[in-house]
Amino acid sequence: MMTMKNRVQLIGNLGAAPEIKNLENGNKLARFAVATSDNYTNKKGEKVSETQWHNIVIWGKLAGIAEKFLEKGSQVVIDGKLTTRNYTDKEGVKKYFTEIVANEMLMIDKK
């Protein structure tokens, strides 16, 4: 159970093709956003759909697979960990950015 302290698993669709960066050390980085949707009926009996966007980061060989096979609309399962980074913007305001660093990815498109 110790390895399950910070684990995220999502099934969703890419909002755009992955952004790929080839780093100087030869490593590869892929970034993309995945949309997940929840559907429910509210108190008025109306069907409601809520979409959430999740920032995904993939490194190494898995990033190469993402670069080669993923495109806008691709449906994927992502397994990884939640991370938060921060930076200070031009106005000196500290900003926080949450993303999922994937360690596994499964493509489930019908293609």
Q: Measuring CA to CA, which residue among 63, 75, 98 is closest to residue 10?
A: 75
Residue 106 has what pLDDT? Answer: 94
Quote the number of domains for the chain.
Answer: 1
Mean pLDDT of 39-62: 94
Asked, for residue 34, whether it belongs to a domain, the answer is yes
User: pLDDT tens digit string along 2-27?
Assistant: 566 899 999 999 999 999 999 999 89
31 in any annotated domain? yes
Q: Give the pLDDT confidence score for residue 1 in this predicted structure.
A: 55
Report CA-CA distances (Å) from 53 to 42, 43, 76, 87, 99.
22, 25, 13, 21, 10
Would 44 be classed as within a structural domain?
no
Whole-number pLDDT of residue 2: 59
Residue in this structure with the two tokens 């809520």, named with its chain if needed = 50
Q: Domain holding 64: CATH number? A: 2.40.50.140
Name the more confident of 4 and 69: 69
**Could you tell me if residue 96 is inside a domain?**
yes
In degrees and rounded to multiples of 5, residue 69 shows phi and psi of: -115, -20
Q: Is the pLDDT of residue 40 over 70?
A: yes
The domain in which residue 23 lies consists of 2-39+49-106
Q: pLDDT averaged over the chain?
A: 93
111 located within any domain: no
pLDDT for residue 110 is more than 70:
no
- Predicted confidence at residue 5, as pLDDT, reads 85
pTM: 0.85
